[in-house]
């Protein structure tokens, strides 16, 4: 183990669509970078950028204090950890960027701990573009002290490094919640496109409007302002804010659904949103709530 955490010898396994640009950012680490992948062309590209190449997982383990893993699935992550663990020094760290099951992360953390190695799960958000620009969000689950040691290295590839929780798997739990929003939003986007198309609206122009205004307002993340999902008390500062959001949302959703009915377009997510928006915001529309304001 390198004596100075600022000169951790970094390793990277999995030089794919995101792993390759992310690893390229790690080339600048003070302790250097060693990479391994079955794709020899990807390895050669990293070597040209200044990295060293390992000819096996075991040799990579010998050369590194912190090894990042970005492979396809749980089974591949397990295989990589199995290959690294026999040669990793006590006190080394394994950082898993792949999105895997939280249970897999916890299991592998236990296996690593028995050998004196700390495993952090650290899934990423931002895609290949974020990786290339060093603007990834990296959500880390596991021991806080290990997180603090790994953070300067991870900051080479991400401009938002978050300690998601003290247990391996917490990073993945945060990533899954984030991606639930992501892909439900994508599905809602398809509903909006169907409505616009049926109404004779140019979908491309609609897309430009959405991207423009989301860049200003923050999109769905703009309402993630509280540290709880509990109902909001009428005397809470956020009650007025979220009541306003609820009223606007219910009005516009109602108008959109009326248009959809006129055009014969099915919007199941839109109907769920109208049904659940108020309760989800913590300011349900009911008699007791209305009376509480009067």
Read off the pLDDT of residues 36-65 as tens digits, 9 standing for 90 and up: 999 999 999 999 999 999 999 999 999 999
Percent of the chain whose predicted confidence (pLDDT) is above 90 = 93
CA distance 20 to 284: 47
Distance (Å) of CA 162 to CA 32, 42, 102:
24, 29, 17
The answer to whether residues 20 and 162 belong to one domain is yes
Please state, rounded to an integer, the average pLDDT across all residues of the chain.
Answer: 94
Answer whether 119's CB lies under 8 Å from 109's CB.
Answer: yes
Q: Quick one: average pLDDT of 18-23?
A: 97
The answer to whether residues 164 and 178 belong to one domain is no
Answer whether 9's CB lies under 8 Å from 64's CB.
Answer: yes
Check pLDDT > 90 for residue 291.
Answer: no
Last residue of a domain, one of 168, 192, 219: 168
CA distance 210 to 206: 6
The answer to whether residues 212 and 256 belong to one domain is yes
The answer to whether residues 201 and 275 belong to one domain is yes
| Residue 175 is a catalytic residue | yes
Provide the whole-model pTM. 0.88
The answer to whether residues 54 and 108 belong to one domain is yes
Last residue of a domain, one of 168, 192, 211: 168
**Measured CA angle at 67 (ends 41, 43), to 5 deg:** 5
pLDDT at 128: 94
Query: What CATH code is carried by the domain that includes residue 225?
Result: 1.10.1040.10
CA distance 65 to 134: 22
Check pLDDT > 90 for residue 123.
Answer: yes
Domain limits for position 18: 5-168
The answer to whether residues 111 and 235 belong to one domain is no
The answer to whether residues 148 and 197 belong to one domain is no
Query: What CATH code is carried by the domain that includes residue 38?
Result: 3.40.50.720
**Annotated catalytic residue within 62, 132, 175, 251:** 175
Q: For 11, left (φ over 0), alpha (ψ -120 to 50), or beta?
A: beta
Q: How many domains does the chain have?
A: 2
The answer to whether residues 95 and 143 belong to one domain is yes
CA distance 245 to 258: 20
- From the list 273, 274, 255, 268, the residue with the least C-alpha distance to 194 is 268
Sequence-separated (6 or more) residues with CB below 8 Å from residue 44: 53
Last residue of a domain, one of 133, 168, 203: 168
- Number of residues in the chain: 294
pLDDT at 165: 98
């Amino acid at each position: 183990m390198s004596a100075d955490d600022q000169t951790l010898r970094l390793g990277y396994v999995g030089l794919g669509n995101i792993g390759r640009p992310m690893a390229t950012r790690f080339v600048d680490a003070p302790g250097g970078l060693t990479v391994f992948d079955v794709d020899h062309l990807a390895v050669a590209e990293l070597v040209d950028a200044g990295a060293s190449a390992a000819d096996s997982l075991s040799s990579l383990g010998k050369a590194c204090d912190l090894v990042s893993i970005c492979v396809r699935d749980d089974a591949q992550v397990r295989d990589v950890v199995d290959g690294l663990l026999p040669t990793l020094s006590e006190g080394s760290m394994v950082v898993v960027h792949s999105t895997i099951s939280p249970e897999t992360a916890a299991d592998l953390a236990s296996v690593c701990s028995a050998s004196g190695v700390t495993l952090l799960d650290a899934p990423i958000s931002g895609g290949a573009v974020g990786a290339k620009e060093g603007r990834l969000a990296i959500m880390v689950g596991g021991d806080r002290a290990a997180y603090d040691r790994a953070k300067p290295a991870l900051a080479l590839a991400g401009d938002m490094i978050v300690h998601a929780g003290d247990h391996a798997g917490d990073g993945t739990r945060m990533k899954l919640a984030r991606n639930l929003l992501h892909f439900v939003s994508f599905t809602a986007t398809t509903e909006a496109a169907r409505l616009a198309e049926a109404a004779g609206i140019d979908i491309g122009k609609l897309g430009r409007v959405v991207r423009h205004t989301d860049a200003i307002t923050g999109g769905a993340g703009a309402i993630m302002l509280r540290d709880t999902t509990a109902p909001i008390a009428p005397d809470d500062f956020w009650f007025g804010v979220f009541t306003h959001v609820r009223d606007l949302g219910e009005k516009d959703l109602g108008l959109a659904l009326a248009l959809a009915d006129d055009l014969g377009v099915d919007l199941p997510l839109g109907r769920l949103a109208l049904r659940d928006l108020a309760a989800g915001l913590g300011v349900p529309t009911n008699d007791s709530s209305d009376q509480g304001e009067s």
